[in-house]
Structure 1
Amino acid sequence: MKIRTDLQKLLRYNVDVLDQGLMVINAHTAAPACDFAAHSGPHLRHIIEHYEAFTQHIASSSVDYDTRARDRSVERDPKRASERIAAIQQQLAALDTDAIVEPIAVQMRGGIAGEDNFVSFSSLARELLFLASHAVHHYALIQVHCRSQGLSLGEDFGKAPATVRHARNA
């Protein structure tokens, strides 16, 4: 097992995961009868805002995923969502991984009503893995909805990479 993660590959993987978000937007644009804002838009906004929380704060070696903008215009407007994804992809591609000091402090609200604030330490690689996995999880939910609306995103859309690999090798 390789101990050190190839950060450039991991960044590329995240850019590719975001490409899948663009694929969702394109599918909705091609089938305007399927309401983007009803289901896919909110999931994509959530994904986008997690990535933005990461890219906006990673230089300070801390990330707070809970202080997101919750900009509802992103979930209603496919063009706006597409622009935000493209901006994140550019930021990820330009990320100077050597300049990021580790460990990274990750803050998160806890308690049933958000009354507690927790901080845990992480790494750049771990947070990139989280973001990709989180997006794929939401893509699985998008896939179910899109299928029910007659939109095809492909058989592997919304599946974890390990699941795709396992199915291909079975």
Structure 2
Amino acid sequence: MSDTPQPADYLVNLAIALIDSGLDILNQDNLSDDQLKYNSALIPGASLGRHFRHVSETYEAFNQSLRSDPYDALHINYDAIMPPSRKSIARSVEACREAMTKVREGLVALHDCEDLEAELEREVEVVALSPQRQELKSTLGRELWFCSLHAIHHYTMIRVIACHELLPVEFGTAPSTILYRGKDWKPPVVAPFTLKAKM
């Protein structure tokens, strides 16, 4: 294996970095179960925990495909019905932390495989229920990229819910935006506002 990072290394390292940024939030001493399950007023029906759960479940669906028999065709089903025990991920900081840590371990194992470039080029069949069952051809690399973009999307909503309370400004920001802004970028100072009801 070469010591020079390859494109596949960057792809997996990005996914690991995204999980690490979520774990940084979940490892804060002041984050409580009540905060995790707090129902957002800005995004009705949302909570920090529900968004973290969705991130972990999507990456976990990806990781499950890697645990299949190496001679079997690879399948990813993001719409698979999860067990009732998954609800604790959205309600308990500890359960959420464990789910994200399990995802991280799967991604690290992927990164340590013998030929990462070839592994990410492997064909995978994505099962979608929309609501008719569909089977779509893809590759592991493309699906890992999807999982990472999906995580950024949910992290952005986590940032909205916890705005100015818990999160660093980079959280939920696409890597290309961070590069564009540069290391000296600071968020603008915005005066608070209130929404006025229509008369």
Compute the TM-score of the two structures, normalised by the length of structure 1.
0.83
Q: How many aligned positions are there?
A: 159
Q: Which residue of 1 aligns with 2:49?
A: 41
Q: Deviations over 1:40-66 (max 9, x none)?
A: 100000111111111112344110100
> Which position in structure 1 is the counterpart of 2:20?
19
Q: Distance in 1 between matches of 2:145 and 2:88?
A: 27
Letter in 2 for 1:63: I
Partner of 1:121: 137
Alignment of 1:52-63 (within 5 A): 52-58=60-66, 59=68, 60-63=73-76
AA aligned to 2:63 is: T
Aligned-residue CA RMSD in angstroms? Answer: 2.2
Three-state SS of the structure 1 residue aligned to 2:136 is strand
Among residues 91, 111, 134, which one is paired with 1:76 in the alignment? 91
Alpha-carbon distance between aligned partners in 2 of 1:117 and 1:33, rounded to the nearest angstrom = 36
Which ranges of structure 1 fall in alignment gaps of 5 or more residues? none
Residues 137, 103 of structure 1: alpha-carbon distance in 2 compared, 3 angstrom cutoff: same
Alpha-carbon offset, residue 68 of structure 1: 4.5
- Is contact 1:61–1:100 with CA below 8 Å preserved after alignment? no
Between the aligned residues of both structures, percent identity stands at 27
Offset from partner CA, 1:66-86 (integer Å, 9 cap, x none): 004161111111111111111
Q: Quote the offset at 1:32 in angstroms.
A: 3.4
Alignment-derived partner of residue 93 in structure 1: 108
> Which consecutive residues of structure 2, in runs of 5 or more, have no partner in the other structure?
1-5, 39-46, 186-199
Q: Read off the aligned partner of 2:98 and give its amino acid letter.
A: E
SS of equivalent residue, structure 1 residue 132 = helix
Q: Residue 105 in 1 paired to residue 101 in 2?
A: no
User: Aligned pair in 2 of structure 1 residues 72, 163: CA closer, same or farther (>3 Å)?
Assistant: same
1:164 aligned residue: 178
Alpha-carbon distance between aligned partners in 2 of 1:167 and 1:88, rounded to the nearest angstrom: 29
Under a length normalisation based on structure 2, what TM-score does the superposition of the two structures give?
A: 0.72
Mapped partners of 1:80, 1:19: distance in 2: 16
Larger Rg: 2
Q: Please give the alpha-carbon distance, in whole angstroms, between the structure 2 residues aligned to 1:68 and 1:136.
A: 23
Superposed CA offset, 1:129-163 (max 9, x none): 1111100100000001101xx42311121111111
Alpha-carbon offset, residue 34 of structure 1: 5.9
SS of 2:133's equivalent in the other structure is strand
Give, in whole Å, the separation in 2 of the partners of 1:43 and 1:165. 25
Task: State the AA in 2 paired with 1:75.
Answer: A
Query: Which SS does the other structure have where 2:150 is aligned?
Result: helix
The structure-2 alpha-carbon separation of the partners of 1:137 and 1:83, relative to structure 1 and needing over 3 Å to count, comes to same
Distance in 1 between the 2:156 and 2:123 partners?
Answer: 31
